Structure 1
Amino acid sequence: MNSNVKKFIQNFSYTFIANVLSIVISTVLILIVPRFIGVDEYGYWQLYIFYTSYISYMSLGLTDGAYLRFGGYKYNDLPKNVFVSQYWFLVVFDIVVNISIASFYNLISINTNKTIVVLLTSITGILVVPRSLLTFMLQATNRIKEFSVIIILERLIYFILIIIFLLNGIRKFEYLIYADIIGKFCSVLYSIFVCKELVFGKFASFKISVKEIWLNISVGIKLLVANFVSMLIIGIVRFCIEKNWSIETFGKISLTLSISNMLMLFINAMAVILFPALRRTSENHLPAIYKMMRTIIMIPLIGLLIFYYPAKIILVAWLPQYAESLTYMALLFPMCLYESKMLLLINTYLKTLRKEKLLMEINLITVGFSVILTSISVFIINNFNFTILSIIILLAFRCITAELCLSKMLKIQVKKDIILELFMTIIFIAVSWYLNISVALIIYFIAYVIYLIIKKNDAVYLWKNIRSLLKTN
């Protein structure tokens, strides 16, 4: 077997285990927590998760820049004293920023529960932002095993504590957040242990430290803005739902989004190891690898939409108080197609080709589109259904636009595949929303069989290439 393929498989196995555990934990929490706590309490818990998803962007782009600049390096070749300076800069910076945010919100807020959420989010920010520099360097230098252990440790402690709280009759959202913070704190300690050379030691000179911090920020700021804006695409819609409707509605839709996003954990397992691998690959091979990876993820993902039908039946029976919101899975489930392709392929390739500016521009355009669509659906026509549908419209628009740009750089043809995937998405949403589950399942299954027949040659080509790689020494 090709040594590069062997290393890729080995690294994937580590992240696969970490992400399978995350999926199991997420599934259990999604199914169990709403069953035991009130809709209000669940809403505030989801609000914390929503806020913390933006916390990592307080790095100013420093961690993103380091990831881009040192992707493909060996860990021992990293300039350790430079990273010591940058780590402690992030610690001090985030302490100051998060304390300021918490103090300001405490002065202006009249909602005690939201104040608690913001305060605990600020504590999380102090923990996770400096840690991100260490985890990014583990990913960039292909130390995937250590990175995976950090994820496993955080999620496992988080899960165990939540189960303990629920079994002891503790139903308040604050304790669910405490469990998350404790899990993150333990993972921070382990990340410091495995990256102690980047945390403890002699600082680089002040001049070099400032120069490196500025260089990483200047390189990473475009990627940071691109990622932050990417979060805003759905974030604007969710924020307006919380403001225009209620915390209960926000919690219910967050549950549906969480279920729809579960498949993303598998994709993330591959994205983590693909970037450093591609940075070490000749640009001549990138188009062929893209076509192979595209076929590998899209054919199974389009097929996995079939599991929506039994999943909805089970979830409605288990969580009857969320039955109404679970109907929106029909509109949101296909988001995994576009988010998976964006995360694994398009983002990774644009970063490899150092086209962060293009990624940022596409995301900014999509956010502008998000503001327009959300304003119309929420404030003008006040239509909740269209507000939810706008999420998949926005994600599809961004993904298709970005892939068309990328295909020109790689000189490959993807328009036929884009049209096919869009057609399958429309069929799924239409039959799942308007028809009963049995009829919808039959129609979508027939459509998927036709899709497989159309994609037969691509599947055969992929299989031949995989066999060739496995036989290569």
Structure 2
Amino acid sequence: MGKGIIVILIANILNMVFGLATGFILPKYLSVETYAIIKTFQLYLSFVGLFHMGYADGMYLRYGGKNLKDLNKKSLKTTIFTMNIFQMIVSIVMVIASIKLNKLLLILFSLDIFGYNMVDFYKRMYQAIGQFKSYSRVINIVTALNFVSNMMLLLIIKSDNAYLYVLGYVIVDYFMLFVLTIKFSKIFNSIKICIFEFNELISNIKEGILLLFGNFSSIILTSMDRWFTKILLTTIDFAQYSFAVSIENFLNIAITPVTITFYNYLCRIQSKTRIIQLRNYINIFSACLMTSFFPVKFILEIYLDKYYQSLNVITFLFASQFFYIIIKSIYVNLYKSRLQQRRYFIQVVIVIMVGFLLNVLLYKITPCKESFSVGTFISAMIWYLICILDVKDIRPLAKELLFVIFEVCIFIVSAFIFNSIIGFVVYIITTLIMIFIFMRETAIIMLNFIFESIKNKGWKR
């Protein structure tokens, strides 16, 4: 698990460099309308997983915790080929429908269904079988190529045409799919027969449909605020809110290594004590990760003044991530590893309904973009509480709950009251005090582990 986290974290550092450059350069130099169209396309892409109807999720559950060398190569090739044909048909049907609607953005989205979902399918496979180096490589290539595409259009061609940028994303996905197809064809070189297996299609969809709905419901929950902003507010509001979300997504650079490796790990362990210990690590990790908000605030103060009005939104989105990190790292992975997809799905549906009502109520009270970020924050808290109450065998002690509550309050106060530099100092000092009071033993274990890892040069232990 340690190796997996480090491998993906190193890969995500490169991802962060390109992501930061793209995240700050595009909104700086593109028109607000162009930026809004690009973010609308990316919002559409967050729902593209629906079009495989749970097939990729079924594969993910089937291969979770296994090794590539132990898999039946013929069966695996059939699984991949069936997904290919299935998604190709879906993509063609959607392109035809989009052409009839005469919506260029929908046409580009429909074209990308096949490429995007197949690349995601391979990434999920790498996650499930613990091939974290391969997973990281795919992420790095896609991120780097998207960056190059964006910078060529911005700096060389000097285009403000949103559809050219969107087309760049589509081309990159298909290029990555081509590379992955060649790579896997070498693995299956001895297996000559490729067939579309209808029973394979139905079996994977049947096994993965509830997990798909759960993941889809989670996407609805986390993207609901953007849909409300897009429908009810102005284009400028949507662009500013989307910018805030893109900044929030930088947290995935640190979060993704944990959420991905934990699934493979939790498939193998059953110790409740160990799971609780992992959650305590995540609590401290989340508290430390919140410090990344203050450099973002500093950049907005001196560089991106036209998006400075998104700062309050960013604050609440960052605060909500404190809960989401714990939920996604521990509880969601636990539901998946225990094959409790139905419970996960029902839980997320409840949170969605609560979140929808919160967004409507808060918008009625104050019709502004900040209302939706507050709704997201409260929804995250409610989901966290539901997870605690639902998974009875690993319920946290009072000191763990107090640590989480105090940390979130300290972050919000530091973010709103002080400027970026003073807020950074205040948050770090108070966080260290909270760790000393509530999480001292866990912090000592984490520090010892880090020092031993450095001493033993690269996780030899």
TM (norm. structure 1) is 0.87
Q: 2:432 maps to which residue?
A: 449
Query: For 2:405, which of 422, 430, 452 is the aligned residue?
Result: 422
Once the two structures are superposed, what CA deviation does each residue of 1:58-102 show, in whole Å capped at 9, x if it has no partner? Answer: 211111111111212221332333333333333333333334444
1:331 and 2:322 matched: no
How far is 1:374 from its partner? 1.8
Q: 1:264 maps to which residue?
A: 252
Query: For 2:234, which of 222, 243, 246 is the aligned residue?
Result: 246
Q: 1:150 maps to which residue?
A: 138
TM (norm. structure 2) is 0.89
Q: 1:3 maps to which residue?
A: none
Aligned mates of 1:320, 1:152 — CA distance in 2: 30
Matches within 5 A, 1:210-359: 210-281=198-269, 283=270, 285=271, 287-359=272-344
Q: 1:182 maps to which residue?
A: 171
Aligned mates of 2:388, 2:436 — CA distance in 1: 24
User: Contact (CA 8 Å) 1:331, 1:433: kept in 2 or not?
Assistant: no
SS in 1 for 2:21: helix
User: Contact (CA 8 Å) 2:45, 2:109: kept in 1 or not?
Assistant: yes
Aligned mates of 2:129, 2:72 — CA distance in 1: 13
SS in 2 for 1:360: helix
Aligned mates of 2:331, 2:188 — CA distance in 1: 30
Q: 1:112 maps to which residue?
A: none
1:132 and 2:120 matched: yes
Once the two structures are superposed, what CA deviation does each residue of 1:321-351 show, in whole Å capped at 9, x if it has no partner? Answer: 1111223222222233122222222222221
Q: Residue type matched to 1:458 in 2?
A: T
Aligned mates of 1:190, 1:417 — CA distance in 2: 46
Q: Residue type matched to 1:227 in 2?
A: N
How far is 1:439 from its partner? 6.1
> Where does the alignment leave 5 or more consecutive residues of structure 2 unmatched?
none
1:52 and 2:45 matched: yes
How far is 1:40 from its partner? 0.7
Aligned mates of 1:446, 1:297 — CA distance in 2: 19
User: Contact (CA 8 Å) 1:330, 1:429: kept in 2 or not?
Assistant: yes
1:202 and 2:193 matched: yes
How far is 1:127 from its partner? 0.7
Once the two structures are superposed, what CA deviation does each residue of 1:95-116 show, in whole Å capped at 9, x if it has no partner? Answer: 333344444445457xxxxx22
Q: Residue type matched to 1:459 in 2?
A: A
SS in 1 for 2:400: helix
Aligned mates of 1:468, 1:106 — CA distance in 2: 59
Aligned mates of 1:103, 1:137 — CA distance in 2: 30
SS in 1 for 2:333: helix
Aligned mates of 1:440, 1:280 — CA distance in 2: 41
SS in 1 for 2:306: helix
Aligned mates of 1:381, 1:362 — CA distance in 2: 28
Aligned mates of 1:384, 1:375 — CA distance in 2: 12
How far is 1:314 from its partner? 1.9
1:92 and 2:76 matched: no
1:394 and 2:379 matched: yes
Moved more, 460-469 or 193-202: 460-469
User: Contact (CA 8 Å) 2:119, 2:173: kept in 1 or not?
Assistant: no
Q: Residue type matched to 1:402 in 2?
A: C
User: Contact (CA 8 Å) 2:388, 2:396: kept in 1 or not?
Assistant: no
SS in 2 for 1:263: helix
Once the two structures are superposed, what CA deviation does each residue of 1:101-158 show, in whole Å capped at 9, x if it has no partner? Answer: 444445457xxxxx22222111111112233333222222222222222222111111
User: Contact (CA 8 Å) 1:23, 1:265: kept in 2 or not?
Assistant: yes
Change in Cα spacing, 1:133 to 1:388, as seen in structure 2 (3 Å) is: closer
Q: 2:55 maps to which residue?
A: 62
Aligned pairs, number: 453
Aligned mates of 2:363, 2:188 — CA distance in 1: 47
How far is 1:447 from its partner? 3.1
User: Contact (CA 8 Å) 2:237, 2:369: kept in 1 or not?
Assistant: no
Aligned mates of 2:142, 2:423 — CA distance in 1: 39
CA RMSD of aligned residues (A): 2.7
Aligned mates of 1:198, 1:359 — CA distance in 2: 35
